[in-house]
Structure formats: structure tokens, C-alpha cells
Structure 1
Amino acid sequence: MLKSLFNWKVLLNLLVAIAVFVGLVWLTFRWLEYHTKHGQETPVPNVVNKSVYDAVKILEDAGLEYSVDSATYDPKYRAFQVLKMSPFAGSRVKDGRAIELRVNPRTWAPVAIPDVINKYSGLAFQRITQVGLKVGDTIFEPSIQKDAIIRVLFKGNAVKPGTLIPRFSTIDVVVGSGPMRNISIPNVVGLTVKEARGVIARSMFEVGLVEHEDGSKDESDIIYYQDPASGDVRDQGMQMDLWASKKTPAELSAKIEQLNSIYRMKVDTSLPPVRYEEVPNYQSAPEPVPVAPAPVQRTEPVKAEPKPATTKPATSTTENKPKTSASSNANTGSNNKTPATGATQQPAQKPKAKKVVVE
């Protein structure tokens, strides 16, 4: 087997195969060098802090490609100034390699106006500030939507939500100040429905019920009745009901009389108007009530009942009187131990006289 391995034919084939392999490898690397331009490198020039126009001209003269991208606006740098580049200045790149430039834009990136229409003004102002915009003038306009945003103005023109404007721009807002009072109702009888809608909108009212006499919805029908009537006063935003037909008002006189009986109230002015007077909102002090004097009770002397006659002489009454007086004086003296000069003695109660009848 070894003898056949070292045969000259086998060795020749082996050498040919090795030569072919080495040749293919050499050709492959040569092709890669040619395709990738190996060894052909160009130094990257420094274009940082230059304007984008000058940077592009320098890269084109050096045979380099470039791509420009905007960064976040920085007011410390000039507009269109190159802030960064990749690869860095001084690097060696092959011909045709794109150099990425990061450029400061001319102004802030645009932002969309938020949808704040018909929103409360306090919340709307917060939303506008959050997106990077500023609120300038606040214009108040009569509207039934009090304190709500009606329109947004940019440079004096109304703009819709979603419109792109530069960041940190100033916008004006129109805010509702509440409805107007006592506005005269316009006369739309004789106008078409389309014309009446415009007149009602300009008078700051709204169209309510529109009843067509033939049941259609033709905007060219003529208005023959309206409620409220023309000349009445209402607040802004009130609705006006309309009745329209292709017939003339003379042909619809019966219908008009029927509507008058429903919507027009007749006021009797023959009676004098009732006058009301304001009553002061305080309570007066109650007047003192006279008090009748209490009746004086008079005590009548008690009459002693007669007693049966006795046989004692009339002088007995006089004899008993001093005894009673003496006994009372004795009792008084026994109760008062202080000397008579130092205390006030109470007068002795006199006994009631007894009536004695002598026959």
C-alpha cells in the first residue's frame, strides 16, 4: 500500500491539487482587496463647529460620502452648525464611506396644537403648556359655554387642533364669557329654511324644530311661522322653532291661527298692574303689652257670733284686760334676756275684744 502511495502519479496529482488550492486562495484575496479597496484609505477631515454647507463641500472634495441628521435644537449654537460627526475627525476610512453629521436645526421641532376646543380653560392651559407652547392673549367672547375654549389663534388666524407649529410658540385663545342676555329675536318669516339658518346663527341663536308642511326636508321651503315671535327678547343660545311650506302664508292662515292659539298667549291689559312693595328684611321689636294692675283684695272684718248671756257684771271685761296684757308682758320679758335699752321690743299683740251682751 505504501508503495502505491509513493507512486509518481499520485504525488503529481497531489501537487497539482495543492497548487490549485493555493491559486484559488490568492485570487480570492486579490479580489477582496480590489473590491474593498484594501489599503486605499482617506483621512477624515474635521468639520465640527462648521456650517453644514461648508462641511458638505469639504467632504465632497475629499471624496467622502455624507449623511445629515438634525439634533435637538440647542439655542447655544448657531443654526445649521455641525455638532457631532461619525467617524471622528482624524480617522482613516475607505473611499465612498459615508460620514454622519449631526447638525443643530434652525429652530425647535414643530409640535401639534392639542385638542382643547370646548374644554375648560384651566385644564386647557395646562395641556398647552405641557406640549411646549405658550398662552398669549385670552380673548373673551359671549358664548353659552362659559369658561370653555372656543377657538385657538396663531398669529391672528384660527388654527385647528393637530396643526404643527414651532415649539415654544405663543398662541392666543378665545374663551366663552357666558351667554348674552335680552337679545331681540330676528324675523325669519318669508325666508327659506337655508336663509333662516344663517340669520339665526348670526343672531347667536340656534335652530330647534323645523317642521315642513308636506313632511319633506327641502331647505328651499318658505318659513311661514316661527316661535318665539320676532321682537321678543331671549338669551343667547336659545332655540327657535320653524314651520316651513311651499304654500303662501295666505293659504296657511288656518294653520297660522291654530299655531297662534298654542304659542301666542293673549295678555289682558285692561286690569291695572299689580304693584308690589318691598318689605324690609328685619323684625321689629315687639311692643310692650300693658299689664292690668292686680285687683286689691279687701278683707272684711269678721263679725263675732253672739254668745249666750252670763251673770257676770260688766266690769269683768275691764278686769281681764290688764291680766292679758300682764301675761303677755311677762312672756316677752322671759324670752328677751338682753336689757330693754339695748334691743327693740316687739309690741304686744292686743287680744281681740270680746263682745258681751248684757241683758
Structure 2
Amino acid sequence: MLKSLFNWKVLLNLVVAIGVFVGLVWLTFRWLEYHTKHGQEIPVPNVINKSVHDAVKILEDAGLEYSVDSATYDPKYRPFQVLKMSPFAGSRVKDGRIIELRVNPRTWAPVAIPDVINKYSGLAFQRINQVGLKVGDTIYEASIQKDAIIRMLFKGNIVKPGTLIPRFSTVDVVVGTGPMRNISIPNVIGLTVKEARVVIARSLFEVGLVEHEDGGKDESDIVYYQDPAYGDVRDQGMQIDLWASKKTPAELQAKINQLNSIYRMKVDTSLPPLQYEEVPIHQEPVYEAPPAPKREVPKPEPVKTETSKTVTSGPKTTPASGNNTTSGSNNKPAAQPTEKPKVKNVVIE
């Protein structure tokens, strides 16, 4: 058994197999080095703060690929200035590596005009400012939509909602001031329906009911009747109804008379004018409150005055007036109604 293993033929086959294996491994690594360009690295040049055109030329000369992406606009830097790069400057990369450049755009990114048509002007101004736009001139125009946005202008041209314009741009707005009063109705009889629509819109009115005689909707039919009649005055935005036919108004006189009996009210002025008499205003009776009962006021009693008492000792004395007195009692003078009361003397024994 061992003798057979050390046979020269077996050893030869073993050596050949090992050589083939080593050769395959060497060829594999060589192929990988060639395919991945192992050891062939290129330093990344510094293109920060350069313009994108100069940075692209430098990378192409160095054998590197590039991709350009715009960042958010920053007014502190020049338009198309390289702000960032990846990989960083000084790194070593292989030939053909893509270098990513972040460039400052030329201006702000465009924004869409918000849909604020027919919206209240106060809320519309807030919405315009929120998207990064500024409100310029405010133009007032007669419209049935008072204080509403009628249209918007950018550089003098009408712009629709959704239009992209540069951020921080200025837009002018047209705001309605309310309808105009007492506008004369235009005469559209004899015009086609299409022409009548233009005239009515120019006069700040709207087209209401359009009745075609044949039941169709041909805009080339001739208007033979309108309501309200031309010459009447109405407020802006009122509707004007039209009757149209392929015939001329002269051929439809009977129909016109019939419509006049319906829409043209005649006032009979032959009747005497109404007279109004003034009716006296009925006055409600005024009731007086009953008088309050009189209260009896007690009469004041006469005030009695007493003179100073004179104390004497000895026999009784007669009063100075000479009236008779009774012994052992107080002497009172006689009452005289017409004279003032006299002073009385009181004698105490």
C-alpha cells in the first residue's frame, strides 16, 4: 500500500495538480487587479468655491467622472459656485470614480402661484406670503365680488394658479370693489348670440336664459328680443335673457308683441290719482291720580306766661288795678279779650 503511494506516477500527478491550482489562483488575482485597477489611485483635486464649469474641466482632466446636484439657493454665494464635494478633496480614488458636486443654483427655486382666485383678499394675501411670494400693487376694479381676488398679474401679464415663478417674486393683484349701480342695459337686438355675449360682458352684465326658436344652441342665431329692455338701468352682474332665431326681428313681430305683453308692464295713467286723507291720531285718555286726603293739623295752644312771684308778709293787699279780691285766695285779673294780659301778683301768706 505504501509502496504504491510513492509511485513516481502518483507523485507526478500530484505535482501537476498543485501547479494547476496555484496557476489558477494567480490568474484570478491578476484578473481582479486589472479589472479593479488595484494600485491605480488618483488624488481628488479640490474644486470647492470654484464655478461648476471650472470644476467639471478639472475633474475631466484628472480622469474622474462627476455628477452635479443643486442645493438650496444661498444669496451669500455666487450662482453656480461649488459648495460641497464627495469624496473630499485630497482623497485617493480609482480612475473613473464619480465625484458628486453640490452647486449653488442661479436663483431661488420656483414656486407655484396659489389658487386664490375668488377668495377674500385678506386670506389670499396671507396665502401668497406663505408660499414665498410678495404682493405688489393692489388694483381695484368694479366687480360683484367685493373684496375678492379677481386675477393676478406677474410683470404685467395675467398668470393662472399653478404657474411656476421664481421665489420672492412680486405679483400684483386685482381686487373687486363691489358692483356698479345704475348701468344702462345695452341693445343687442339684431346681433348674433355670440356677438351679444361679448357686448353684454363688456357692459359688466351676464347672459342669463338664451331661448332659441328652433330649440337648438346655434350661436349664429339672431337676437330678436331681450329682457330687461335696452335703456333700462340695472346693477352690475344682473342677467339679461335673450330670445334668438334664424329669422329677422321684423319677421317675428307677432312673437315680439306676445313677449311684450308678458315682460313689458304698462302703467294706466288715465285713472285719477289716489287721494290720501290724514286720519287723526287717537289719543288715549290720561287718568289723573285722586287727590291725597288732607290731614288735620292741630292748632297750637296759647302760651301762658307767668310773672315773677312776689313774696310779702303782713296783711293782704289789693291789686293795683283795683279789682275785688277774695281773702285767702289768689287774685286773678278779669279777662279782657281786646287787651294784652296784665301781669298778675301772687300773694302767699
In structure 2, what is the equivalent of residue 238 of structure 1? 238
Q: Secondary structure at the match of 1:225?
A: strand
Change (3 A) 1:36 1:271: same
Question: 2:151 is paired with a residue of what secondary structure?
Answer: strand
* Cα-Cα RMSD: 2.8
Q: What per-residue deviation string (whole Å, max 9, x for no partner) do you get for residues 294-325 of structure 1?
A: 9xxxxxxxxxxxxxxxxxxxxxxxxxxxxxxx
Question: Where does residue 61 of structure 1 map in the other structure?
Answer: 61
Matches within 5 A, 1:263-342: 263-269=263-269, 340-341=304-305
Shift of 1:224: 0.7
Cα 1:224–1:340 change in 2 (3 A) is: same
1:148-192 superposed Cα distances (whole Å, 9 cap, x missing partner)? 111111111001111111111111111111111111000001111
Aligned residue pair count: 290
Q: Deviations over 1:248-276 (max 9, x none)?
A: 22322121111111111112445798999
- Taking structure 1 as the reference length, the TM-score comes to 0.75
Q: Distance in 2 between matches of 1:149 and 1:39?
A: 68
Distance (whole Å) between structure 2 residues aligned to residue 175 and residue 226 of structure 1 = 31
The residue number in structure 1 matching 2:209 is 209
Aligned equivalents of 1:186 and 1:93: distance in 2?
81
Q: 1:316 matched to which residue of 2?
A: none
Cα deviation for residue 340 of structure 1 reads 4.1
What secondary structure sits across from 2:251 in the alignment? Answer: coil
- 1:9 deviates by 2.8
Distance 1:2 1:203 in 2: 121
Aligned to 1:100: 100
Structure 1 residue matching 2:16: 3-state secondary structure: helix
In structure 1, list runs of 5 or more residues that go unmatched: 277-285, 295-335, 348-359
Cα distance in 1 between the residues matched to 2:242 and 2:303: 118
Q: CA deviation at 1:239?
A: 0.4
Which residue matches 2:72? 72
Question: Residue 115 of structure 1 corresponds to which residue in structure 2?
Answer: 115
Q: Which amino acid aligns with 2:188?
A: V
**Cα–Cα, structure 1 residues 339 and 32, in superposed 2: closer, same or farther, change >3 Å?**
closer
Question: For structure 1, which segment, 185-194 or 262-271, has the greater mean C-alpha deviation from structure 2 after superposition?
Answer: 262-271
Question: Identity of paired residues, percent?
Answer: 88
Q: How does 1:55-204 map to 2 (within 5 A)?
A: 55-204=55-204
Within 2, Cα distance between the matches of 1:274 and 1:170? 64
Q: Give the aligned partner of residue 261 of structure 1.
A: 261
Quote how far apart the aligned CAs of 1:34 are: 1.2
Give the counterpart letter for 1:179 in structure 2.
Answer: P
- 1:209-233 CA distances to partner (integer Å, 9 max, x unpaired)? 1111121211111111100000001
One-letter identity of the residue aligned with 1:267: V
Distance 1:61 1:55 in 2: 10
What is the letter of the counterpart of residue 134 of structure 2?
K
* Off by >4 Å, runs of 4+ in structure 1: 269-276
Deviation at 1:76, TM superposition (A): 0.7
- Using the TM superposition, give the Cα deviation of residue 2 of structure 1 relative to its aligned residue in structure 2, in angstroms: 4.4
Q: Secondary structure at the match of 2:162?
A: coil
Amino acid at match of 2:83: L
User: In structure 2, how many angstroms separate the alpha carbons of the residues matched to 1:212 and 1:120?
Assistant: 38
